């Protein structure tokens, strides 16, 4: 190695600069971690020791330095307030055959230095034995200050232990903001002591579907409730752990919409005379909004008082997205209040709402951040905008002088599937690959002149379709590694091929840590299922006829055990079995299931067309070369109607035809709920 040569260190995110030196430093059990006599640095030293023990099986002692001389054969941690560079997260790692020195101006930089060194120690995928660290010097600092992940704990609940683990995993990617989506229509998760019903009532719902409705809880005689909450004690533990890992938690309390769970708990907060009676289980956009009474603002301020006492970070997220104004428009009382307040229209009323809350947060030393809809009703000067409807929100916000964070749909929405394989967990149907995420440009041309307002970027893990913690991890990693690199590394250090070469070591680290993740990006292209005519074609192997609102939906049954996953366009449930060889086929078999139609999609529901059934229970109809005309096979659904899970329908004769044809598969049904779906189809000889 020529000293000083620029090298690619096996580190994600790629460091700003890495230069090679001659030789290696060998870490043995006798190597110690040398720390000065301050508690914070000692804690960072212990963190490095525990990481190495967990993933490499070496147990290094952390030793306090008593003199100013730094020992050889050691990993030396040094906090140097006078070191160069103005970025508080910057650090240096200097590896020579004699010793390794980690230095930084601030503890958080030093923390990232230990993460980088841990990556150098785990780059060979080995889990035990001596560790050879090539001699090198890394000088590093992030490109953006906000490198975030949003977790939706409202639609599905994750345990406090999982949140703690997620924070650990984020830290190992140098991700530093956990935006925690704690309230929504389908659940209020944060304990608020002044309003206990928010969680006593608002944290619990009956899941959608007939299977859940029939699952009676013997202790109540009613359908079993799904949910969970975070006690203030649990939150304090999580916040303290996050601080240890350089992660700031930005809590989100949604207003004025996505508020159904709170309104169920306290109906006086709502805007109609007929408030919802129970926490709902549909996905989509409910029209329930908070009203604008003084008592409601007092409630929100009380809630924010407790939120601010729990979360010390600068930002409080107040949602603001998808606040459909139907109820405000329809309510005589809200209209009267609008006149009283001198607000000209319902759009401006949301602006009034947000500005008023912002004033309250500012008076308590905090800043407001909201989804990009907060731009629409007239926004307060100090508000920060999280741009999710593409990057236009960020561009408008920044040009109006607001700070902004980019988290645009669809690329940074991790509820989109990352692959199309049969093992892929449910999610939104669109595929957003690791490469798609990696190629996202966090500073497009239109924002370049507003660089100072772009705080950074964030990926959002919405959990409507992500029911379990394992699946949250799978959907998040390794795409979060791509977010980490685009958020941290300078554009000239970023290159997809190089990232892909560093990925196997990253996935080996995940394995050593016991994380769940997707290895989709490393599967050879040919690994897609190659299907013969008489194989089972799973739902994921079929094409949806249209691409209006495609979801990869999990069956609602069985309640315990494996459930089928259906790829379905809920606006047009219709599938294409491409290029089916009908020359030898005599019949067609299909396995079908029913999913609850639990989607609040407003007037769009009128656009869903259903084919009328021939018999009372309906049929699966198969057509050739298009979806019109006479079916070439008809499979009655009678045997499947009373089964909540998947039913294999009796095979039905199919009209033979020479050659290959696209088959169109559609159900007939009178009502939308439940909606039929295909698990698999297969031709029989
Ligand atoms: C959002 O996806 N509604 C922010």
Average pLDDT on 595-619 reads 96
Domains and CATH numbers, the chain: 17-140 (3.30.379.10), 146-513 (3.20.20.80), 529-684 (2.60.120.260)
Kindly report the protein residue whose alpha carbon is nearest to atom 3 of ligand 1: 321
Ligand 1 pocket test, pick from 371, 372, 407, 459 with the greatest ligand atom count within 8 Å of Cβ, gives 371
**Which atom of ligand 1 lies at the shortest distance from residue 388's CA?**
4
Average pLDDT on 526-545 reads 85
Residues 18 and 537: their CA atoms lie apart, in Å, by: 49
Supply φ then ψ for residue 182, to 5 degrees: -100, -15
In this prediction, what percent of the chain has a pLDDT beyond 90?
A: 91
52 CA distance to ligand 1 centroid (A)? 39
Residues 383-396 have pLDDT tens digits of 999 999 999 999 99
Kindly report the protein residue whose alpha carbon is nearest to atom 2 of ligand 1: 388
Ligand 1 pocket test, pick from 250, 253, 321 with the greatest ligand atom count within 8 Å of Cβ, gives 321
**Which atom of ligand 1 lies at the shortest distance from residue 409's CA?**
2
Q: β-strands 226-227, 204-205: how paired?
A: antiparallel
Determine whether the shortest distance from the Cβ of 322 to ligand 1 is under 6 A.
yes
Active-site annotation holder among 179, 181, 258, 402: 258
Active-site annotation holder among 94, 184, 373, 679: 184
- Angstrom CA distances, 395 to 37, 105, 179, 264, 636, stand at 47, 33, 21, 37, 54
User: Which among 408, 429, 407 is positioned nearest to 418, based on CA atoms?
Assistant: 429
| 76-85, 363-372, 429-438, 627-636: range with lowest mean pLDDT | 76-85
Residues 461 and 476: their CA atoms lie apart, in Å, by: 7
Determine whether the shortest distance from the Cβ of 321 to ligand 1 is under 6 A.
yes
Average pLDDT of the chain? Answer: 95
Residue 1 scores a pLDDT above 60:
no
Q: State the CB neighbour count (10 A cutoff) for residue 661.
A: 19
Determine which helix (DSSP H) or strand (DSSP E) holds 211, and give its type and residue range.
helix 210-213
Residues 474 and 463: their CA atoms lie apart, in Å, by: 12
Average pLDDT on 133-141 reads 97
pLDDT at residue 198, rounded to an integer: 99
Asked if residue 480 lies in contact with residue 175, where contact means CB atoms within 8 angstroms, the answer is: yes
pLDDT at residue 529, rounded to an integer: 73
Asked if residue 203 lies in contact with residue 228, where contact means CB atoms within 8 angstroms, the answer is: yes
Residue 2 scores a pLDDT above 80:
no
Determine whether the shortest distance from the Cβ of 371 to ligand 1 is under 6 A.
yes
Residues 629-670 have pLDDT tens digits of 999 999 999 999 999 999 999 999 999 899 999 999 999 999
- Angstrom CA distances, 448 to 394, 399, 439, 442, stand at 11, 11, 17, 10
391 CA distance to ligand 1 centroid (A)? 13
- 322 included as an active-site residue: yes
Residue 8 scores a pLDDT above 90:
no
**Which atom of ligand 1 lies at the shortest distance from residue 413's CA?**
2
Determine whether the shortest distance from the Cβ of 324 to ligand 1 is under 6 A.
no
**Which atom of ligand 1 lies at the shortest distance from residue 371's CA?**
4
Average pLDDT on 45-70 reads 94
pLDDT at residue 128, rounded to an integer: 72
pLDDT at residue 513, rounded to an integer: 95
Determine whether the shortest distance from the Cβ of 390 to ligand 1 is under 6 A.
no
389 CA distance to ligand 1 centroid (A)? 8
Residues 405-459 have pLDDT tens digits of 999 999 999 999 999 888 899 999 999 999 999 999 999 999 999 999 999 999 9
**Which atom of ligand 1 lies at the shortest distance from residue 258's CA?**
3
* Planar angle of CA 603, 604, 607, nearest 5 degrees: 115
**Which atom of ligand 1 lies at the shortest distance from residue 322's CA?**
3
Residues 97-107 have pLDDT tens digits of 999 999 999 99
Residues 100-135 have pLDDT tens digits of 999 999 999 999 999 999 999 998 877 677 899 999
pLDDT at residue 378, rounded to an integer: 85
Determine whether the shortest distance from the Cβ of 414 to ligand 1 is under 6 A.
no
Residues 201-226 have pLDDT tens digits of 999 999 999 999 999 999 999 999 99
User: Which among 438, 431, 457 is positioned nearest to 500, based on CA atoms?
Assistant: 438
pLDDT at residue 4, rounded to an integer: 77
What pTM, to 2 d.p., does this model score? 0.97
Determine the 3-state secondary structure of 4 from DSSP.
coil
User: Which among 57, 175, 243 is positioned nearest to 478, based on CA atoms?
Assistant: 175
Terminal Cα distance for the chain, rounded: 64
| 12-21, 117-126, 555-564, 637-646: range with lowest mean pLDDT | 117-126
Question: 146 forms bridges with which residues in the sheet?
Answer: 456
* Planar angle of CA 469, 474, 475, nearest 5 degrees: 100
Determine whether the shortest distance from the Cβ of 673 to ligand 1 is under 6 A.
no
Active-site annotation holder among 301, 321, 322, 326: 322
pLDDT at residue 482, rounded to an integer: 98
**Which atom of ligand 1 lies at the shortest distance from residue 460's CA?**
2
Residue 51 scores a pLDDT above 60:
yes
Q: DSSP letters of 265-319?
A: H-GGGBSSSS--SS----EE-----B---HHHHHHHHHHHHHHHHH--SSEEE--
Cβ-Cβ contacts under 8 Å for 434 (sequence gap 6 or more): 418, 478, 479, 482, 518, 520, 521
**The 416-417 sheet, strands edge to edge:** 416-417, 427-431, 550-554, 565-569
Residues 507 and 510: their CA atoms lie apart, in Å, by: 5
- Angstrom CA distances, 138 to 101, 227, 505, stand at 11, 46, 19
Asked if residue 636 lies in contact with residue 622, where contact means CB atoms within 8 angstroms, the answer is: no
Asked if residue 150 lies in contact with residue 476, where contact means CB atoms within 8 angstroms, the answer is: no
Asked if residue 585 lies in contact with residue 684, where contact means CB atoms within 8 angstroms, the answer is: yes
Residues 248-276 have pLDDT tens digits of 999 999 999 999 999 999 999 999 999 99
526 CA distance to ligand 1 centroid (A)? 35
Ligand 1 pocket test, pick from 388, 390, 459, 601 with the greatest ligand atom count within 8 Å of Cβ, gives 388
Q: Is the peptide bond before 265 cis (omega within 30 degrees of 0)?
A: no
User: Which among 465, 371, 375, 382 is positioned nearest to 427, based on CA atoms?
Assistant: 465
Cα-based torsion angle of the residue sequence 509, 511, 512, 516 in order, rounded to the nearest 10 degrees = 100
Asked if residue 649 lies in contact with residue 667, where contact means CB atoms within 8 angstroms, the answer is: no
Residues 440 and 442: their CA atoms lie apart, in Å, by: 6
Determine whether the shortest distance from the Cβ of 388 to ligand 1 is under 6 A.
yes
Ligand 1 pocket test, pick from 322, 323, 386, 461 with the greatest ligand atom count within 8 Å of Cβ, gives 322
- 621 included as an active-site residue: no
93 CA distance to ligand 1 centroid (A)? 39
Cβ-Cβ contacts under 8 Å for 394 (sequence gap 6 or more): 372, 385, 387, 404, 405, 406, 408, 447, 454
634 CA distance to ligand 1 centroid (A)? 41
In this prediction, what percent of the chain has a pLDDT beyond 70?
A: 99
């Amino acid at each position: 190695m020529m000293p000083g040569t620029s090298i690619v260190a096996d580190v994600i995110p790629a460091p700003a600069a890495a230069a090679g030196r001659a030789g290696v430093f060998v870490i043995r059990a006798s190597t110690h971690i040398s720390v000065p006599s301050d508690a914070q640095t000692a804690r960072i030293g212990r963190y490095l020791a525990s990481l190495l023990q967990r993933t490499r099986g070496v147990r290094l002692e952390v030793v306090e330095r008593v003199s100013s001389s730094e020992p050889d054969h050691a990993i030396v941690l040094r906090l140097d307030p006078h070191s160069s560079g103005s970025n508080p997260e910057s650090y240096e790692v200097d590896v020579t055959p004699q010793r390794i020195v980690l230095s930084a101006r601030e503890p958080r930089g030093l923390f990232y230095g230990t993460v980088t060194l841990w990556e150098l120690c785990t780059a060979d995928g080995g889990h035990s034995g001596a560790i050879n660290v090539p001699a090198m010097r890394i000088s590093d600092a992030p490109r953006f200050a906000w490198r975030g992940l949003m977790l939706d704990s409202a639609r599905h609940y994750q345990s406090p232990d999982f949140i703690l683990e997620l924070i650990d995993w984020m830290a190992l990617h140098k991700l530093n903001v956990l935006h925690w989506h704690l309230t929504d229509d389908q659940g209020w998760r944060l304990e608020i002591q002044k309003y206990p019903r928010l969680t006593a009532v608002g944290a619990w719902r009956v899941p959608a579907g007939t299977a859940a409705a029939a699952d009676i809880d013997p202790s109540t005689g009613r359908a079993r409730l799904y949910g969970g909450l975070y006690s203030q004690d649990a939150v304090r533990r999580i916040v303290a752990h996050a601080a240890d890992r350089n992660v700031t938690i930005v809590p989100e309390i949604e207003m004025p919409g996505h508020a159904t769970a709170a309104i169920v708990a306290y109906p006086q907060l709502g805007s109609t005379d007929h408030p919802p009676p129970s926490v709902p289980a549909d996905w989509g956009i409910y029209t329930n909004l908070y009203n604008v009474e003084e008592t409601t603002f007092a409630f929100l301020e009380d809630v924010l008082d407790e939120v601010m006492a729990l979360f010390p970070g600068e930002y409080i997220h107040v949602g603001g997205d998808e606040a459909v104004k139907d109820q405000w428009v329809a309510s005589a009382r809200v209209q009267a209040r609008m006149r009283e307040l001198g607000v000209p229209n319902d759009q401006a009323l949301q602006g009034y709402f947000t500005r008023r809350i912002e004033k309250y947060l500012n008076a308590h030393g905090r800043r407001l951040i909201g989804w990009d809809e907060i731009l629409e009703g007239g926004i307060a000067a100090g508000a920060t905008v999280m741009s999710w409807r593409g990057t236009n929100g960020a561009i408008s916000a920044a040009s109006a002088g607001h700070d902004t964070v980019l988290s645009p749909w669809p690329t940074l929405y991790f509820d989109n599937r990352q692959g199309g394989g049969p093992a892929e967990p449910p999610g939104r149907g669109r595929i957003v690959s690791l490469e798609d995420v990696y190629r996202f440009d966090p500073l497009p041309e239109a924002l370049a002149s507003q660089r100072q307002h772009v705080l950074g970027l964030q990926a959002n893990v919405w959990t409507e379709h992500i029911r379990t913690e394992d699946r949250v991890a799978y959907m998040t990693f390794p795409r979060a590694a791509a977010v980490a690199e685009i958020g941290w590394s300078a554009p000239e250090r970023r290159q997809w091929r190089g990232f892909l070469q560093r990925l196997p070591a990253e996935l080996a680290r995940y394995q050593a840590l016991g994380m769940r993740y997707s290895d989709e990006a490393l599967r050879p292209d040919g690994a897609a299922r190659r299907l013969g005519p008489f194989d089972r074609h799973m739902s994921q192997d079929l094409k949806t006829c249209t691409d209006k609102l495609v979801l990869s939906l999990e069956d609602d049954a069985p309640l315990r055990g494996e459930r089928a996953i259906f790829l379905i366009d809920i606006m047009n449930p219709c599938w294409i079995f491409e290029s089916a060889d009908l020359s030898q086929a005599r019949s067609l078999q299909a396995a079908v299931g029913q999913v609850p139609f639990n989607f609040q999609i407003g007037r769009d529901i009128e656009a869903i067309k259903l084919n009328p059934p021939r018999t009372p229970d309906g049929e699966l109809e198969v057509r050739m070369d298009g979806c019109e005309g006479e079916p070439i096979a008809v499979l009655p659904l009678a045997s499947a109607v009373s089964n909540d899970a998947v039913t294999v329908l009796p095979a039905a004769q199919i009209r033979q035809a020479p050659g290959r044809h696209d088959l169109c598969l559609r159900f007939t049904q009178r009502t939308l709920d439940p909606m039929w779906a295909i698990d698999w189809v297969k031709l029989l000889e």
